[in-house]
Structure 1
């Protein structure tokens, strides 16, 4: 029996990108996908675009919400799949056979994860994320930065809880850490599983997002270890930019 995957797409006023995201899900070769679109009452033509594909959706909700994580919680509450994947507007599943390949890597894991390729607003590839997916992953893996994006992690629905709405920009980090603490089998698929559109809310509110991440990491890892880890993160970031500046010179 193939597990059911609930793919949830959150969108608000993004008529430019929503169809591309939806087609990456709707064109999957994997047969057991519950595809849900949660729209925040868009007014730019997004809803009309989504409705063109409504017969192929498991659920379409369009109503005002209190922000991205409130919308994600709506999808989570309505999902019936064995696994959850958030593929928000602007992002894509990597290839038509991605979901099938993910579930082929191992049977009945608690969590599957993979690598993410970044794209700019003109959908030009920017290559791999600076934080590569770790070879092995557990709830402590984020101590040196968010090494897995929520577009690239499939989590058993039984392990997840609602997003904490006290966090406005980085609730997905808290959500993944909580779920991972409950997981016993975590599988690295060793492949690209998602395409990520850079410039989301956490980038637009970068400083506020960083402060929120610091609070989350302190909650799980402790203040002193978190301060030490951030020194290591800063050193690693400096090395990254020096290395890439040399490459580009």
Structure 2
């Protein structure tokens, strides 16, 4: 019988951070899940770490890919669980009870999407703060796809979707995770807030490293879903919101 949840980790030359991700999954009390690792042919010690924990990994692959979102598509294709949850190298499940609480909520509510806040952490694991508190992105408890008009309301690692509604990621857009979340929300018949933090998110990912291109790609995604005129208006709101948040913080 397929598991309820597929947890997928994408990694490339991440020997510094991968072990903390795997250990957060090994520490879980619940067992109704599979764990998939998709590696982009790492040349450092990443594969040694995977092999060290191989008995805790349902399946893994290491081969060249066309970037992060190509690898995420590979992970999604290999998944057999009812839901998919991406927890990439350096990110962690919030604590050892997280998976059990999520699975209990799934059994009780049977929604298509589950989401929560995310705790941002530094490279050394020390907390930065909850995303909803340290960024301008407040977290609504009744989320719809239209809430994404001003950008990504939910951290990707705090977003769990039923596999049958999860679309393919566009591999040439650094804001492909925003597009993926919007499409999941559009397809979802029921969306459920999880009143507990799902993950610890390592700050400084790909979109941060390539910030300018990420903003351009975000604009393209929002135009696709909300139209050009509304997106231009919304970007004025984004700038105003950012200035107000900076002034108040």
> What TM-score do the two structures reach when normalised by structure 1?
0.94
Q: Provide the residue aligned with 2:68 in structure 1.
A: 68
Q: Give CA-to-partner distance per residue, 1:125-163, whole Å, 9 cap, x none.
A: 110111232221111111112110110011000101211
Deviating 4+ runs (over 6 angstroms):
none
1:149 to 126, 149, 155: 155
Match of 2:115, SS?
strand
CA distance in 1 between counterparts of 2:35 and 2:3 reads: 14
Gaps of 5+ in 1: 245-249
Q: Provide the residue aligned with 1:5 in structure 2.
A: 5
Gaps of 5+ in 2: none
Q: Provide the residue aligned with 2:78 in structure 1.
A: 78
Q: Provide the residue aligned with 1:111 in structure 2.
A: 113
Q: Give CA-to-partner distance per residue, 1:29-64, whole Å, 9 cap, x none.
A: 121110001111111101101110111110010111
Asked if the contact 2:115–2:192 (Cα under 8 Å) also holds between the matched residues in 1, the reply is: yes
Q: CA deviation at 1:2?
A: 9.9
Match of 2:223, SS?
helix
> What's the RMSD between the two structures over aligned residues?
1.4
Q: Provide the residue aligned with 1:128 in structure 2.
A: 130
Q: Provide the residue aligned with 2:213 in structure 1.
A: 208
Q: CA deviation at 1:101?
A: 1.1
Q: How many residues align?
A: 243
2:179 is aligned with 1:174: yes
CA distance in 1 between counterparts of 2:138 and 2:46 reads: 33
Q: Give CA-to-partner distance per residue, 1:202-230, whole Å, 9 cap, x none.
A: 00110100010001001101111111111
1:218 to 220, 223, 226: 223
Match of 2:84, SS?
strand
CA distance in 1 between counterparts of 2:218 and 2:94 reads: 27
Q: Provide the residue aligned with 1:17 in structure 2.
A: 17
Asked if the contact 2:2–2:81 (Cα under 8 Å) also holds between the matched residues in 1, the reply is: no
Asked if the contact 1:34–1:81 (Cα under 8 Å) also holds between the matched residues in 2, the reply is: yes
2:216 is aligned with 1:228: no
Q: Provide the residue aligned with 1:240 in structure 2.
A: 245
Asked if the contact 1:110–1:185 (Cα under 8 Å) also holds between the matched residues in 2, the reply is: yes
Q: CA deviation at 1:175?
A: 0.9
Q: Provide the residue aligned with 1:93 in structure 2.
A: 93
